[in-house]
Amino acid sequence: MQKNTDPVLYWIGLSSIPGVGRVTFRKLVKRFGSPERALAASAEELTSVDGLSRKITDAIGTFAWREFAEREAAKAAESGVAIIILEDPAYPDSLRDTPDPPLFLYAKGELRPEDKNAVAIVGTRKPTHYGKTVTHRLAGELAASGFTVVSGLARGIDTQAHRGALAVKGRTIAVLGCGIDVAYPPENRTLMEEIAGTGAVVTENPFGTKPEAGYFPARNRIISGLSRGTVIIEASEDSGSLITAQYALDQGRALFAVPGNIGSPVSRGTHSLIKEGATLVEGTSDILAGLGVKQSAACRTTGTRPLPLLTPDETAVLKCMTNEPKHIDSLMNESRIAAGALSGVLVNLELKGLAKQLPGKYFVRED
C-alpha cells in the first residue's frame, strides 16, 4: 500500500512528537530543510542538532507520528475542516509575519484575502451592560465598514463582538483555545456554527484538545496576529485580554482601549492601557483613524441612527438615560415626570427601540 505523501502529514507528525514544540520544530526544519526530511533523519544526524535532547531524538525515531497525523487528516476530511500549514498560500499573511506564528491552522469555514483587514475585539467574560452594548455596536460598525472582526468565542465581550458582526451580515473569525471539534463555552456551540457558516473558526490545537487554561495565552497571540489592531473593552487588572494587548504591541499592531466607569473593576485594565499609550476609543472613527483608514471611504454606516419622532416627555426621559442601568426612581427624579406618566413614556421608548428594561426596574438607553 502506497503511503500518503501529503506535506500536511509531516507537519502534523513532527509537531506531534513529545518534546517537539514550535521552537524545536523550526530548529529541525532549518537544519534539514523540511519536516519530512527531519522525520527521516538518522539518529546520528539528529544528534548534530544543537540543543536537541536524547529523549527527543529517540522519540523522533520511535513515536507513531504517521498514525496520529493520518487520524487528524481523516477527522478533518470528515468534518469539513481544512488544515493550513505555514507554507500554504492560503495561510494568512498577517499571522505568518508575526514572531511566533502557529505551524498550521485547523480552519472550519473560509479564510479569505479580505480578512487582512481585520480588527480584534476582546475583553472581560463578565461585562457590564455598557460593555456589551459598546462591543456589539463597534463590532457591527466595523463589520459593516468591510472589516473582519476577530475574537475568541469566550463568554462576555468576545461573544458580543461575534454577534455584532453577524448582526450586520459581516465577517467574523473565532480563534479557539481548544480543538476545532470542541465547543467552549458549551452554550456558544450554535454561535460557533454560525461563524463557521459565514466566516471562519480556527485553532492550532489538535482534534479533541480540551480548553485548559494553558492554551488560552497562546490562543491570544493568534487573535492579535490575525488583526491590524486590537480593541480592548472592559478588562480587569489581571484580565487575559491584557495578554492579547501585549501580543499586539509585540507584533507591531495598533492597540485601542474603550474607557469605562472609573469605579468599575473591569475598567481598570483598559484605563491602564490608555495611560500607557493605547488609543482611546469613543467610536468607530477612532479605530479607523488609528489604522489610517478614511472613514468616509470605508464606512457604509453612519453609526448612530436618526431618532424617531418623540414627544417632549419622551425626549426628556431619553436625555436622562445612558448605557449604564438607571433605576426608574432616578429617572423620575431627573426628568420630573410623575410615576404614572413615566411608566407609559418608558413603554413607548422600548417600543421605539430606544430603551430597554432590565430586572429590578432598571432601564438603559439602546440607540
pLDDT tens digit sequence for 152-171: 999 999 999 999 999 999 99
pLDDT at 267 over 90: yes
Per the document, the length of the chain is 367
Cis peptide before 99 (omega within 30 of 0): no
How would DSSP label each residue in 139-188? HHHHHHTTPEEEE---TTHHHHHHHHHHHTT--EEEE-SS-TT--SSGGG
d(CA 17, CA 357): 55
- Ranges in the chain annotated CATH 3.40.50.450: 109-298
CA distances, 365 to each of 174, 350, 361 (Å): 29, 9, 14
Compute the CA torsion angle 64, 26, 56, 215 (nearest 10 deg).
-80
Whole-number pLDDT of residue 278: 98
- Ranges in the chain annotated CATH 1.10.150.20: 1-76
Domain at 312-365: CATH architecture: Orthogonal Bundle (1.10)
> Who's near 138: CB < 8 A, 6+ residues apart?
121, 164, 231, 233, 258, 281, 283, 284, 287
Report residue 3's pLDDT band, with 50, 70 and 90 as the boundaries: low
How would DSSP label each residue in 100-127? S--SEEEEEE---GGGGSEEEEEE-SS-
Three-point CA angle 167, 170, 174, nearest 5°: 90
d(CA 86, CA 91): 6
DSSP, res 33: S
pLDDT at 240 over 60: yes
- Indicate the pairing of strand 355-358 with strand 200-203: unpaired
Which CATH class for the 1-76 domain? mainly alpha
Whole-number pLDDT of residue 300: 43
**Grid coordinates given for 299:** 464606512
Cα of 322 vs its chain's centroid, Å = 27
Whole-number pLDDT of residue 2: 39
Are the beta carbons of 130 and 323 closer than 8 angstroms? yes
d(CA 217, CA 306): 41
Of 20, 72, 70, nearest in space to 41 by CA: 20
This prediction has a pTM of 0.85
Are the beta carbons of 52 and 46 closer than 8 angstroms? yes
pLDDT at 32 over 60: yes
**CATH code for the domain defined by 109-298:** 3.40.50.450
- Ranges in the chain annotated CATH 1.10.10.10: 312-365
pLDDT at 299 over 50: no
Report residue 297's pLDDT band, with 50, 70 and 90 as the boundaries: very low
